[in-house]
Amino acid sequence: MMRKTVLTTLVALLLLSVVFMQPAAAQTTTLRVLVHQNPPMVEFMEMFNQQFQERHPDIVIDMSVVNANDLSTVTQTRLSANDIDVIDIFGFSNAVQPYMENVDAPNWQQLIDAGLLMDLSGQDFINNYDAATIADAGTYNGGVYAINLGRVSYSGVFYNMDLFEEYSLAVPTTWDELVAACQTFTADGIPCMTAGGKDGWPIFVGAYGMIGAIYPDQAALVEGLWTGTIKWNDEKSMEMWRKMQVYARDMIEPGASGVAGDAAPGRFASGAVAMFPGGTWYAPAIEASEPDFEWGYIPFPASDTPEDNQYLFGKYDQGWAVAANTPNADAALLYLAEFSDPENYQAFVNAVGFIPTQPTAQLSTRIGEQVGPYLANFRVGYEQYWVAPRGVGQYAAPWASFFQPFGTFDDPQTLADTVQADLQSGLDAIGG
Amino acid sequence: MYHFGRGRARWVPYLLLLPGVLAYFIMAVGPSLATTVFSFTDASGLPNAPVNWVGLDNYEEFLFLGQAARDNLNAVGRTLVFCFFVTTIQFALGLVVAIILNQKLRGRNFFRTLYFMPVILGAVIQGLIWTLFLYPLGGPLAQILGTFGLRSEFLGGPPTEAFAWVIVVQIWANMGVTMIIFLAGLQTISEEYYEAARIDGANAWQVFTNVTWPLLTPSVNTNLLLNIIGSLQAWQLFLVLIGYRNGTQVLGYLIYATGFGQTSGSVTSSFRQGYAAAASIVMFVMVLVIGLTVQYFLRRREERLVG
């Protein structure tokens, strides 16, 4: 009996201590942050979070990392559950243009219209970014809903300097030179290019430079496709498809479809392949894999005229937004304010290789040196403008991955006709 | 007449059933009804977003609007193909393995565990194992093919090949359940039937067709229905193994990608849960029709064989 009483008292004391300890625990704010998988960026964020927590011991950062393909899905579900405070959001793109009909608003616009993102207008840290970026990549209906952290190019190609030197090859400036260089490498058993094909999109994004070489004004391309003045199977587009087939069949190494997106930079840096078409965001991963590896970055030389190969196409990449209903608004805004501090921002840009969107930041990285000469020719790329009408077929996109060995097509004309027919099907459905 | 007594005692079983029934309504029937209602709206799935009644527009778009509708119907066809191959192969393999592992063999418990093990792994782990096995740049299968001068992109290759690999993985991942149900069924068959058959001079095939097969009827029915319904609703392995790729989507994955705005890289898409709900109802009808038809024929067969 005595033992029972003692035991009961102990349990009661334990429960009471748990109850009374709660207010102390509640003083700590847990700030929930969502980012997409980009190894150098994640590595930087972990370091930044640690420093932030040291400066603010009352705030604990709980950062989740998801694949870029799933970012939109996870954003939706966690915002709906009011389970996230700070969100990684890509620069606002794919806005509906006046000539577009029967389309759906992009997800960022839906999130704002539903009142799920906080209007950041008036926050001091916004002034750290250049006005054009705030206007183009974070403003909607007069409110500022995101600060964008940098632009990236995705239409260039990394090349292995040592291999080019070893084979006495000049860096290609035209399509013919590129084809010849690839033939030289493959003839000697060195695959010409690799890509992180397991993630799907790196195969076709690697060929976006080809669209740019044929259609340098990509906003006009999208309008032309919508209004019917440009067709995916007209003679000009056929040149693109023919080159894309060569890219998919002869340039990208067999087996690239199994290479994960975050493993591809390491494969290139190992010297296993001569070139690596892809975005500037891969540069820090290449450097981290092999710090002594000598590499360069050029616009994809897809045109036969060197002057047409001077453009870099890209997008506004990662930005920060805050959940409108966050119970941790003060901590979230403090997080963004400290991140936006010029010193922290410079460290971020150095780590991830973005083209900065703060005017005071320097582009002093190796990738910065490489893209510097082309920055005056930087243009927002096709995919950032494109919105498909409802009813389009699944092939209504200029993707090199539709060709064998990654897809089913082995004839450029057949593929071009299919792509145009799938697009036309959606355009014809308007008002139908 | 009153199995559970008279008076208040009559209500005890209903009271005991109540929590389960309530849970079923809240967790299954409620969301199903809500999905039906959503399918007639333009709901995005976002809280606070306006929801408008659009009648049959979502169904019209899914079934009839442009090439996208034909792609959707192709996805329905692909789902049926997936169901056919998964069901038949998984069923046959499960039966054969169960019969073998029902014999008095050394190490049979080990093999039973081995064959069942994939079932307890989640779809992500299952996908990871096969992604490594099918790695085209030096993975085990690539090396085997390489010795014959062959090569393949496997999961990243042409859609038909990638699709076939998902069938293989789906069977590998779930064959253990089929096997266990058959094993349970085999162990309920009395040894006396086999002895009698052998005394009558029946050979192994005759024993199987006249004793084992008819008496396995309840297991056959259970397995067939589980395999059919499971494969018609499959989508996780498609997501993990190949992602959203033209020519590989089945209806379940199409619904997921549409409803939750799945993207490719940073290209934004839209949240369309109303439309996805309509696609879900199409799938529900498909599963219902196929499930009821199969069940009807299985019942008739069971009555004929077992009585």
Domain segments of chain B as ranges: 39-305
**Average pLDDT estimate for A62-81:** 89
Rounded Cα–Cα distance for residues A180 and A161 (Å)? 16
Rounded CA-CA distance A291/A100 in Å is: 47
Q: What is the pLDDT of residue A24?
A: 47
What three-state secondary structure class fits B164?
Answer: helix
Alpha-carbon distance values, A336 to A134, A135, A138, B108 (Å): 14, 18, 14, 60
Cross-strand bridge partners of residue A300: none
SS3 of A248, please? helix
Which of A88, A90, A104, A199 best probes binding to B when mutated, by most B CB atoms within 10 angstroms?
A: A104
Contact present, A273 and A159 (Cβ < 8 Å): no
On whether the CB atoms of residues A247 and A211 are closer than 8 A, the answer is no
**Which amino acid is present at A202?**
P
pLDDT of residue B266: 45
Q: Do domains A29-152+315-380 and A156-310+388-428 have the same CATH topology?
A: yes
Residues of A in contact with B135 (CB under 8 A): 258
Residues from chain A that touch B156, judged by Cβ atoms under 8 A, are: 197-198, 256-258, 406
Q: B68 and A76 in contact by Cβ < 8 A? A: no
C-alpha A90/C-alpha A67 separation (Å) is: 13
Q: Residue B95: what pLDDT?
A: 97
* R_g over Cα of chain A: 25
User: CA of B43, closest CA in chain A: separation in Å?
Assistant: 11
Q: From the CA of A48, how many Å to the nearest CA of chain B?
A: 24
Could you give the CA distance from residue B126 to residue A62 in angstroms, rounded to a whole number? Answer: 28
The per-residue pLDDT for range B71-116, each reduced to its tens digit, is 999 999 999 999 999 999 999 999 999 999 999 889 999 999 999 9
Model ipTM value: 0.82
A103 phi and psi angles, rounded to 5 deg: -120, 165
pLDDT in tens, A298-323: 999 999 999 999 899 999 999 999 99
Tokens at B200, concatenated: 């009558």
The alpha-carbon gap from B18 to the nearest alpha carbon of chain A, in Å, equals 29
More confident call, A68 vs A348 = A348
Distance from CA of A196 to the nearest CA of B (A): 11
Rounded distance between C-alpha atoms, residue B106 and residue B120, angstroms: 24
Interface test with A, best of B73, B240, B245, B268 (most A CBs within 10 A): B268
Do the chains contact at A69 and B262, CB–CB below 8 Å?
A: yes
> Which pLDDT does position B271 carry in this prediction?
82
**Who's near A65: CB < 8 A, 6+ residues apart?**
A35, A36, A37, A42
CA–CA min distance A84, chain B (Å) = 14
Tell me which CATH code domain B39-305 carries: 1.10.3720.10
In A240-256, which positions are buried (b, 16+ CB within 10 angstroms) versus exposed (e)? bbebbbbbbeebbbebb
> Where residue B261 falls among pLDDT bands split at 50, 70, 90?
low
Yes or no, beta carbons of B243 and A199 under 8 Å apart: yes
A346-400 pLDDT, tens digit per residue, is: 999 999 989 899 999 988 889 989 998 888 888 889 888 998 999 999 999 999 9
* Mean pLDDT value across chain A: 91
- Report the residue of A41, A66, A73, A82 to disrupt the B interface, i.e. the one with the largest count of B CBs within 10 Å: A73
The residues, ordered by sequence, that sit 6+ positions from A246 with a Cβ below 8 Å of its Cβ are A179
In chain B, what residues touch A422 (CB-CB under 8 Å)?
67
pLDDT attached to residue B302: 84
Phi-psi region of A209 (alpha: psi -120 to 50; beta: other; left: phi over 0): alpha
Mean pLDDT along residues A63-89: 90
Which residue of A71, A90, A114 is in closest CB contact with B47? A114
Q: Where do the DSSP E strands lie in B8-118?
A: none
Higher pLDDT, B179 or A260: B179
> Per the structure block, which two tokens stand in for A316?
């506004």
pLDDT tier for residue B245 given thresholds of 50, 70 and 90: confident
CB pairs under 8 A between A and B: 166
E strand spans, A219-368: 275-278, 295-299, 312-316, 318-322
Cβ atoms of B253 and B79 closer than 8 Å: no
Taking residue A286's Cβ as centre, other Cβ atoms within 10 Å add up to 25
Give the tens place of pLDDT for each residue, B129-163.
999 999 999 899 999 999 998 888 899 888 999 99
A419 → chain B, closest CA residue: B67
B170 Cα to chain A: minimum distance (Å)? 19
Contact assignment for A111 to B269 by CB distance below 8 Å: no
- Whether the per-residue pLDDT at A14 is higher than 80: the answer is no
Q: In angstroms, what separates the C-alpha of B30 from chain A's closest C-alpha? A: 19
A9: exposed, middle or buried (C-beta count within 10 Å: 0-12, 13-18, 19+)? exposed
CA-based nearest distance B279→chain A, Å: 14
What is the Rg, in whole angstroms, of the alpha carbon atoms belonging to chain B?
A: 24
Q: Which two tokens stand for residue B15?
A: 């009271």
CB A321 within 8 A of CB A116: no
**Domain A156-310+388-428 is of which CATH architecture?**
3-Layer(aba) Sandwich (3.40)
Tell me, what's the pLDDT at A21? 53
Q: A405 to chain B: which residues are within 8 Å by CB?
A: 153, 157-158
pLDDT-derived band at A13 (thresholds 50, 70, 90) equals low
CB nearest to B270's CB, from A90, A106, A201: A106
- Which residues in chain B have their CB less than 8 angstroms from residue A68's CB? 263, 265-266
Angle at CA of residue A206, ends B158 and A398, nearest 5°: 65
On the question of pLDDT at B1 being above 60, the answer is: no
Q: Letter for the amino acid at B125?
A: I
DSSP code of residue B135: -
Residues 6+ apart with CB under 8 A from B35: B277, B280, B281
- Amino acid A18: pLDDT: 53
SS3 A342: helix
pLDDT, tens digit (0-9, with 9 covering 90-100), for B147-203: 998 888 899 888 999 999 999 999 999 999 999 999 999 999 999 999 999 999 999
Which of A35, A67, A89, A110 is the mutation pick for testing B, counting most B CBs within 10 A?
A110
Q: Which tokens hold the place of B110?
A: 């080990």
Nearest-CB residue to A404 (from B66, B158, B272): B158
Is the CB of residue B163 less than 8 Å from the CB of residue B78?
yes
CB contact under 8 A, B131 and A198: yes
Cβ neighbours for B226, distance < 8 A, ≥ 6 positions apart: B177, B178, B181
Q: What is the strand order of the sheet A295-299 is part of?
A: A275-278, A156-160, A295-299
Question: Does the beta-carbon distance from A393 to B157 stay under 8 Å?
Answer: no
3-state DSSP assignment of residue B168: helix
Give the three-state DSSP class for A323: strand
Distance CA A247, CA A187 (A): 16
Interior CA angle at A156 toward B244 and A404, to 5°?
Answer: 40
CA A26 to chain centre: 37
**Interchain contact, B137 vs A68, CB within 8 Å:** no
| Residue A17 pLDDT greater than 80, yes or no | no
Q: Assign a CATH topology to domain A29-152+315-380.
A: D-Maltodextrin-Binding Protein; domain 2 (3.40.190)
Domain spans of chain A, in order of start:
29-152+315-380, 156-310+388-428
Residue type, A314: G
Question: What percentage of chain A exceeds 90 in pLDDT?
Answer: 72
